[in-house]
Structure 1
């Protein structure tokens, strides 16, 4: 039978093996009093364990491997961090190993002791060819366990995004207005252009944009120019105006060189998602929201509030253009679609609130995030389809964001035994 080391970790952690007449490979009687705390960092796998070996109490660490020889293969015999190991737990014992000081390490071999139900469940779990390895078991898992896992994965997903936001908090010395502005630009890149959008926001700070709160055309010239979009061949009158104003303010504000055009991605991007169009929409939002973060924290409670704030219409020029000096064949509606507004609620508002709650240590922001996500309809994409195919139907964006988190953090890397659903699947029948 083939399995990964995390399976042995789970066997030890949940004690899924026969403990009657337990002995080490050398025949010493063994009793397990405390399994220890799993260590996810450097050093032995479990710390603060307690065993009774041949009638004597031992306190220390437990190391877990598939084979005993993995001890030497991983270089533990010369690592002083492993001198405190009191028990080596393995599936198969194939050689004697020792600590750095030369003393032999007591070894427990689990082969032949693991509950048969657990082995069968694990084999069934890893042998499926389906996208979700636990698909065949999902109908047997209680709803409370599924919900708990969705919440956990959602929080882990939000924490990753909060780390990105906190980097900007540090870079701006805690200026949350500037942070909200930068995060808005990052999210308006919609993945494919998120990096240059963030760069644009850093190079054209919010304080300069706010100086022209009552001059949306100047705001647009500043942003289009810094993005490098004003330098077109055969410019029309609007583009010429944009370039002239940008050049004036670039010198006045001592702005850095404009972003190089090759940093932006237009290939395989729908015209409605072109960065030039997105910048025009950003200008419409910013010209109506001179204190962005304050509005987002005080005026927005549900999706309808966000829709009201972000439904600003760009300059009429963009109804007939998708880039400066490049006309579209027919007029286009440049208002943000309902789907785009929902995506901004999910990817812009919620992570910003969550990061702010972590920064201020105010737990109520977490609940506010959850309430907001439950106000957004369930998303539709290939990941969500994999869950609905198995009759697990999301009710709202809270569920779908949790599903995306489960897929990215557990399903794709096959960390089933770190997932509550996988752990539930593994356990033996009563």
Structure 2
């Protein structure tokens, strides 16, 4: 049976092997006092362990490999972080490992010692050829274990997304108002145009737009002009007006940079998600939000006010257009749907709250993220459907965001054995 190193790490972490008459490969008696803390970053696999070798106590780290020869392959001998390793745990001791002082590294070999039940469960309950390796066995996992795994994955996901907000905060010299503005644009780009939206917001500072807050055509001229989306040639009077207005503001503010149409993705997007529609919606939001950050932070305790801020209609031109020059035959509402509104709460509001809590070291904001996610309806996407089809039904966005975190950070890279769900499935009854 094939397995990876993380399987051996799990075996060591939970001591899923026979320890009677345990000896190192050179004959020293081994007593394990502390297995150490599993290190998921760089350095030895388990830190701050404690073992006895022939009655002498040692404190230090434990490194796990499938084959002892991997110590040299991974260049651990030249890495000072491994100088404090007190035990090498391997499946096969295919090569003697020496410390820098030429003494032999204490090594235990697990071949023939791992509980047979662990092998069986690992082989039968996890199918690494599937997108969800544990899909066929999810029903065996207690609900409390699944919730714990979701919560851990959700926290990891919120850390990742909030770090993107904090990165923008650093770029704006800790200007939270400008950061909220840029993150709003990123969120409105969704996946397809997030980077282009981020660039657009960085080219047009929020403070400049605030000067024209009560002039919706001016906001559209500036944003569409800098975005490079106003056509050079057009028979439509409104397009000529926007072009003329943009030229005026470009000279006034001495903008030397602007984007081009190829920066934007129209292909693959539904008309309602065209960047032109999203920018038109953003101009309407900005015209009604004199203080964007306050709308997110202060007024968000009553979310009806924030929802009202986002539920806007673009200007009259966009009642019959999805993009410049392409007029629709019938009037179509370009307001923000309830589904998109929920996505904006998840992708715009929640990361800002979490980042705000991290920045000011206030855990209340993080708790509010969890509370709010449990009030927002469950999302529907291909990842969530995979869990649903496996018998794991999400009830709200707390669940679906956790599922997305599980899928991307554990299932896809096949880091199953660091996931509580898989650990529960192969847990030994013999330990």
d(CA) in 1 for partners of 2:253, 2:205:
11
Q: Give the total of aligned pairs.
A: 430
SS of residue matched to 1:49: strand
- Which residue matches 2:429? 429
- Which residue matches 2:223? 223
- The answer to whether the aligner puts 1:150 opposite 2:150 as a matched pair is yes
Alpha carbons 2:64, 2:88 under 8 Å: kept = yes
Alpha carbons 1:65, 1:91 under 8 Å: kept = yes
Q: TM-score, normalised by structure 1?
A: 0.96
Using the TM superposition, name which of 366-375 and 414-423 deviates more.
Answer: 366-375
SS of residue matched to 2:52: strand
- Which residue matches 2:68? 68
Offset of residue 338 of structure 1: 1.0
Using the TM superposition, name which of 301-310 and 161-170 deviates more.
Answer: 301-310
- Which residue matches 1:363? 363
Offset of residue 302 of structure 1: 6.0
- The answer to whether the aligner puts 1:87 opposite 2:104 as a matched pair is no
- Which residue matches 1:174? 174
Using the TM superposition, name which of 241-250 and 38-47 deviates more.
Answer: 38-47
Superposed CA offset, 1:133-182 (max 9, x none):
11233222111111111111111111111111111111112211111110
Alpha carbons 1:213, 1:287 under 8 Å: kept = yes
Matches of residues 31-50 of structure 1 in structure 2 within 5 Å?
Answer: 31-50=31-50
- Which residue matches 2:114? 114
Offset of residue 80 of structure 1: 4.1
- The answer to whether the aligner puts 1:293 opposite 2:296 as a matched pair is no
d(CA) in 1 for partners of 2:41, 2:398:
30
Structure 1 segments of 4+ aligned residues over 3 angstroms from their partners: 77-81, 125-130, 301-306
Alpha carbons 2:132, 2:411 under 8 Å: kept = yes
Alpha carbons 1:183, 1:348 under 8 Å: kept = yes
- The answer to whether the aligner puts 1:390 opposite 2:387 as a matched pair is no
- The answer to whether the aligner puts 1:373 opposite 2:379 as a matched pair is no
SS of residue matched to 1:190: helix
d(CA) in 1 for partners of 2:173, 2:380:
38
Alpha carbons 1:82, 1:99 under 8 Å: kept = no
Offset of residue 22 of structure 1: 1.0
d(CA) in 2 for partners of 1:136, 1:326:
49
Alpha carbons 1:303, 1:345 under 8 Å: kept = no
d(CA) in 2 for partners of 1:78, 1:288:
60
Superposed CA offset, 1:164-220 (max 9, x none):
111111111221111111001011111111111111111111111110111111111
Matches of residues 402-413 of structure 1 in structure 2 within 5 Å?
Answer: 402-413=402-413
Using the TM superposition, name which of 358-367 and 81-90 deviates more.
Answer: 81-90
d(CA) in 2 for partners of 1:216, 1:186:
21
- Which residue matches 1:274? 274
Q: TM-score, normalised by structure 2?
A: 0.96
**Structure 2 spans left out of the alignment, 5+ residues:** none
Superposed CA offset, 1:356-387 (max 9, x none):
11111111111211121111111111111111
- Which residue matches 1:184? 184
Offset of residue 118 of structure 1: 1.1
- Which residue matches 1:257? 257
SS of residue matched to 1:409: helix
Offset of residue 291 of structure 1: 0.7
- Which residue matches 2:307? 307
Offset of residue 249 of structure 1: 0.9
- Which residue matches 1:141? 141
Alpha carbons 2:90, 2:108 under 8 Å: kept = yes
- Which residue matches 2:98? 98
Alpha carbons 2:281, 2:312 under 8 Å: kept = yes
Alpha carbons 2:234, 2:240 under 8 Å: kept = no
Alpha carbons 1:33, 1:51 under 8 Å: kept = yes
CA RMSD of aligned residues (A): 1.5
Offset of residue 62 of structure 1: 1.4
Q: From the superposition, tell whether residues 309 and 45 of structure 1 become closer, same or farther in structure 2 (CA, over 3 Å).
A: same
- Which residue matches 2:199? 199
SS of residue matched to 1:193: helix
Alpha carbons 1:203, 1:256 under 8 Å: kept = no
SS of residue matched to 2:61: strand
Offset of residue 279 of structure 1: 0.7
Matches of residues 238-257 of structure 1 in structure 2 within 5 Å?
Answer: 238-257=238-257
d(CA) in 2 for partners of 1:314, 1:33:
67
d(CA) in 2 for partners of 1:80, 1:195:
40
Using the TM superposition, name which of 160-169 and 250-259 deviates more.
Answer: 250-259
- Which residue matches 1:165? 165
Q: From the superposition, tell whether residues 88 and 368 of structure 1 become closer, same or farther in structure 2 (CA, over 3 Å).
A: same
**Structure 1 spans left out of the alignment, 5+ residues:** none
Alpha carbons 1:301, 1:372 under 8 Å: kept = no
d(CA) in 1 for partners of 2:296, 2:81:
49
Alpha carbons 2:128, 2:414 under 8 Å: kept = no
